[in-house]
Amino acid sequence: EYIDSIRPSSTIPICLDLGTNTQRYLDDPLYLGLRQKRVSEEVMTEFMEEFMHEMSVQFPKLLIQFEDFSTEKAFKYLEAFRHRYPVFNDDIQGTGAVVLSGFLNAAKLSSAASGRPLSDHRILFFGAGSAGVGVGMQLMSFFKLQGLSEDEARERIWLVDSQGLVYNERGPMAEHKKIFSRHDYTGPPMTDLTEIVNYVQPTALLGLSTMKNAFYQDVVELMAALNPRPIIFPLSNPVRLSECEFQDAVDWTKGRVLFASGSPFPEIEYEGRTLYAGQGNNMYIFPGMGLGAILCRAASMTDSMVEAASLGLADSLTPEERALDLIYPRLERIREISAFIATRVIRKAQAEVRILPSALSDMLILGQGVDRLTDMRTMSDAQLLKFVTSKMWTP
Exposed/middle/buried for 357, CB within 10 Å: 0-12, 13-18, 19+?
exposed
Q: Judge contact between 126 and 215, C-beta under 8 A.
A: yes
Q: Which of 182, 205, 184, 181 is nearest to 194 (CA)?
A: 205
- The amino acid sitting at 91 is D
Q: Judge contact between 62 and 54, C-beta under 8 A.
A: no
Interior angle at CA 102, CA 78 and CA 2, nearest 5: 70
DSSP 281-309: -GGGTHHHHHHHHHHTTBS---HHHHHHH
Interior angle at CA 4, CA 137 and CA 374, nearest 5: 80
Distance of CA 178 to the CA centre of its chain: 18
91 assigned ligand-binding residue: yes
237 assigned ligand-binding residue: yes
Backbone Cα Rg of the chain: 22
Bridge partners (DSSP) of residue 274 are: 269
307 assigned ligand-binding residue: no
Classify the phi-psi angles of 237: left when phi > 0, otherwise alpha if psi is within -120 to 50, otherwise beta.
Answer: beta
Within 10 A of 98 (CB to CB), how many other CB atoms are there? 31
Q: Judge contact between 309 and 339, C-beta under 8 A.
A: no
Beta strands in the chain (DSSP E): 64-66, 87-89, 123-126, 157-161, 164-165, 204-207, 231-234, 258-261, 268-270, 273-275, 278-279, 353-357, 363-368
User: Could you report how far apart the first and last alpha carbons of the chain are, in Å?
Assistant: 10
The annotated binding site for a divalent metal cation is made up of 67-68, 91
The annotated binding site for (S)-malate is made up of 237, 281
The annotated binding site is made up of 67-68, 91, 237, 281
